[in-house]
Amino acid sequence: MSLLERIQEPADLKAVPEAELPALAEEIRAFLVDQVSRTGGHLGPNLGVVELTMAIHRVFDSPRDAIVFDTGHQSYVHKLLTGRQDFSGLRQQGGLSGYPSRAESAHDVVESSHASSSLSWAHGIAEGRRVRGEHDRHTVAVIGDGALTGGMAWEALNNIAAESDLPLVIVVNDNERSYAPTKGGLADHLATLRTTRGYEQFLDWGKVQLRRTPVVGGPMERALHGMKKGLKDVVAPQGMFEDLGLKYVGPVNGHDIPALEHALRKARSFGGPVLVHVITQKGRGYEHAVNDEADQFHGIGVINPETGLPIQIAGRSWTDEFSDAMVELGREREDIVAITAAMMIPVGLKGFADAYPDRIFDVGIAEQHAATMAAGLAYAGLHPVVAIYATFLNRAFDQLLMDCALHKAGVTFVLDRSGVTGPDGASHHGMWDMSIAGIVPGLHLAAPRDGQQVPVALRASIDIDDAPSIIRFPKGTVGDPIVAVRSVDGVDVLVEPDDGDVDVLIVGIGSMVATALAVADKLTAEGLRVRVADPVWALPVPSALTGLAGTARRVAVVEDGSVAGGIGSQVAYAVRQAGLDVPVDIFGLPREFLDHGSRGQVLEASGLTADAIVTSLRSRLA
Distance CA(427)–CA(366), nearest Å, equals: 17
**595 annotated binding-site participant:** no
Q: Could you tell me what percentage of the chain is helix, strand and coil, using 3-state DSSP and rounding each to the nearest 5?
A: 45, 15, 40
**159 annotated binding-site participant:** no
Distance CA(455)–CA(414), nearest Å, equals: 11
Q: How many CA atoms lie within 13 A of 235 on its CB side?
A: 13
**324 annotated binding-site participant:** no
Q: In 492-511, which positions are buried (b, 16+ CB within 10 angstroms) versus exposed (e)?
A: bbbbbeeeeebbbbbbbbbb
CA dihedral sign of residues 197, 201, 206, 211: positive
Distance CA(271)–CA(250), nearest Å, equals: 17
Active site (annotated) includes residue 395: yes
**367 annotated binding-site participant:** yes
CA dihedral sign of residues 265, 268, 272, 277: positive
**114 annotated binding-site participant:** yes
151 close to 363: Cβ distance less than 8 angstroms? no
Q: Which residues pair with 171 in a beta bridge?
A: 142, 276
Q: How many CA atoms lie within 13 A of 415 on its CB side?
A: 33
**175 annotated binding-site participant:** yes
Catalytic annotation, pick one of 395, 449, 472, 531: 395
Distance CA(87)–CA(221), nearest Å, equals: 57
Question: Which residue in 399, 401, 335 sits closest to 373, CA to CA?
Answer: 399
Q: Residues near 589 by Cβ (< 8 Å), separated by ≥ 6?
A: 419, 420, 429, 431, 560, 561, 562, 563, 606, 608
Q: In 3-state terms, what secondary structure has residue 115?
A: coil
**304 annotated binding-site participant:** no
DSSP string covering 556-605:
EEEEEEESSSSHHHHHHHHHHHTT----EEEEEE-SSPPPPS-HHHHHHH
Angle subtended by helix axes 198-212 and 219-235, to nearest 10: 180
DSSP H or E run through 434: helix 433-437
Catalytic annotation, pick one of 321, 367, 496, 559: 367
Q: In 3-state terms, what secondary structure has residue 267?
A: helix
Catalytic annotation, pick one of 282, 284, 475, 531: 282
Distance CA(109)–CA(67), nearest Å, equals: 7
Distance CA(609)–CA(598), nearest Å, equals: 14
Active site (annotated) includes residue 367: yes
**561 annotated binding-site participant:** no
Distance CA(242)–CA(161), nearest Å, equals: 9
Amino acid letter for position 231: L
Q: Residues near 134 by Cβ (< 8 Å), separated by ≥ 6?
A: none
**525 annotated binding-site participant:** no
Distance CA(98)–CA(82), nearest Å, equals: 15
Long-range contact list for 183-190, CB < 8 A, 24+ apart?
183/149, 183/342, 183/362, 183/364, 184/149, 184/362, 184/363, 184/364, 186/145, 186/148, 186/149, 186/364, 187/145, 187/149, 187/364, 189/237, 189/240, 190/145, 190/277
Question: Which residue in 394, 449, 381, 392 sits closest to 416, CA to CA?
Answer: 392
156 close to 148: Cβ distance less than 8 angstroms? no
Residue 147's φ and ψ, nearest 5 degrees, are: -65, -25
**592 annotated binding-site participant:** no
**Annotated binding residues:** 73, 113-115, 145-147, 175, 286, 367
**Annotated binding residues for thiamine diphosphate:** 73, 113-115, 146-147, 175, 286, 367
**Annotated binding residues for Mg(2+):** 145, 175
Active-site residues: which are they?
Answer: 282, 367, 395
